[in-house]
Amino acid sequence: MKKNALPAHAEQSIPVLTELPGGQFSFIPEIPNRIQKARGPLLDEVLGQGMLEETSILIDDVAESTPTPLPIQTRVMLDYEEINIETVGMRLNAFDREVIDAVVSLRPYNDYITPEMIYQVMMGKQTARYITDKQREMVRKSLMRCSHARIRISLTDMSEKNSPIGRQLKKQGIKAEYSEQVLSFKLMSVEKRGKIFDHYVIDSEPVLSRYAVSLGKVSVFPIELFDTRVNKTTKNIVLQSFLLRAIDEMYRDSSVPTTIDLFDIYAAIDATNELRQHKLRIRGTVETIFEDWIEKKYIKTFLIRKAIRDIKGYDIELIPEMAQKMRIHQD
């Protein structure tokens, strides 16, 4: 597999087992030198996007009517389906994953992170005039869940993922796990005009990000792909990310079917048992997202797949030139 150099901000410590005198073992930091990136400069080139600009932009929390520039142009997404993790204590949900992705995207480019920034990233807005109190509170609660949850990684199982750590453990017949807070941060709350504004300083690169980077399970997308014409409710944010990950996998692996089943779409947003009218609205949302991605030249087109009179899913027609470039990049 062709590999790219690890971005400077992603070079974070991950655990490695080292034998000590007397037959003991210890975990010390290991910095991966090179990783397989699923995305990055390639997609920037295909979609005509520039590289990330390092900026530090202060958010004016009082003047809510003033547009606030987003300090990033691309968003990181971790491949949660492929990294086999277990959280201990607090259970995390699909919205929490969106928050983690936003934190990972923002952290290298700003001294602190606010709930407004996080929601902006999830909406895909370069500028946003207003983030509601409800949206702020959703992000705050998610950050607290992430800070109270610990991720548990089986280092022995990593041998199946071509990990030097896992191979070393397996060779010596050792079973080992690594545990760390999902997010660790310092919090400063400021009250202005009767409202509380939170500023989060993330202490270190989140463990999920370090783990995903070490396995090459990271994709990077232009922020504009998230700026679609659908209302950015919690479920729609999760739905859009699910669709983006599914199409990303099609581009990266020619053996993956270029279809998205309706059952999987409903399951992704916990809508399997919803009423028929609600499912009809979900399908309308999906098709609006696809239409926007056609306009943004991320996919060529899509077709509704039917069995007799029932809709079963969607067939995605990829852009051949983009698919070819991405698969060459993977080899």
In a domain, 144, yes or no: yes
Which strands form 177-181's sheet, in the order they lie side by side? Answer: 86-89, 149-154, 177-181
Q: Which domain holds residue 255?
A: 228-331
Residues 208 and 286 in one domain: no
Q: What is the CATH number of the domain that holds 275?
A: 3.30.1370
Instruction: Report which DSSP code applies to 159.
Output: G
In a domain, 245, yes or no: yes
Write down the pLDDT at residue 270.
92
Q: Which two tokens stand for residue 56?
A: 């530090």
- Beta-bridge partners for 221: 75
pLDDT tens per residue, range 267-303 = 999 999 999 999 999 999 999 999 999 999 999 999 9
310, burial (CB in 10 Å: exposed 0-12, middle 13-18, buried 19+) = exposed
Residues 205 and 282 in one domain: no
Residues 184 and 236 in one domain: no
> Taking 60 as the threshold, does the pLDDT of residue 250 lie above it?
yes
In a domain, 183, yes or no: yes
Residue with tokens 């259970």: 91
Contact at 8 Å (CB) between 113 and 172? Answer: no
> Taking 90 as the threshold, does the pLDDT of residue 313 lie above it?
yes
Write down the pLDDT at residue 194.
81
Q: pLDDT-derived band of residue 28, with 50, 70 and 90 as boundaries?
A: very low
Residues 275 and 148 in one domain: no
Residues 133 and 271 in one domain: no
Residues 211 and 296 in one domain: no
- The amino acid at residue 268 is A
In a domain, 143, yes or no: yes
**Domain count along the chain:** 2
Write down the pLDDT at residue 308.
81
The DSSP result for 276-302, as a single string, is HHHHHHHHHHHHHHHHHHHHTTS-SEE
* Mean pLDDT, residues 203-231: 85
pLDDT tens per residue, range 83-128 = 666 677 778 889 999 999 999 999 988 888 999 999 999 998 877 6
Last residue of a domain, one of 226, 256, 281: 226
Residues 57 and 98 in one domain: yes
Contact at 8 Å (CB) between 312 and 265? Answer: no
Please state the pTM of the whole predicted model: 0.74
> Taking 90 as the threshold, does the pLDDT of residue 36 lie above it?
no
Write down the pLDDT at residue 264.
95
Contact at 8 Å (CB) between 127 and 66? Answer: no
pLDDT tens per residue, range 228-239 = 999 988 899 999
> Taking 90 as the threshold, does the pLDDT of residue 16 lie above it?
no
> Taking 70 as the threshold, does the pLDDT of residue 57 lie above it?
no
> Taking 70 as the threshold, does the pLDDT of residue 163 lie above it?
no
Q: pLDDT-derived band of residue 82, with 50, 70 and 90 as boundaries?
A: low
* Mean pLDDT, residues 48-53: 30
Length of the chain in terms of residues written: 331
pLDDT tens per residue, range 62-74 = 334 445 677 777 8
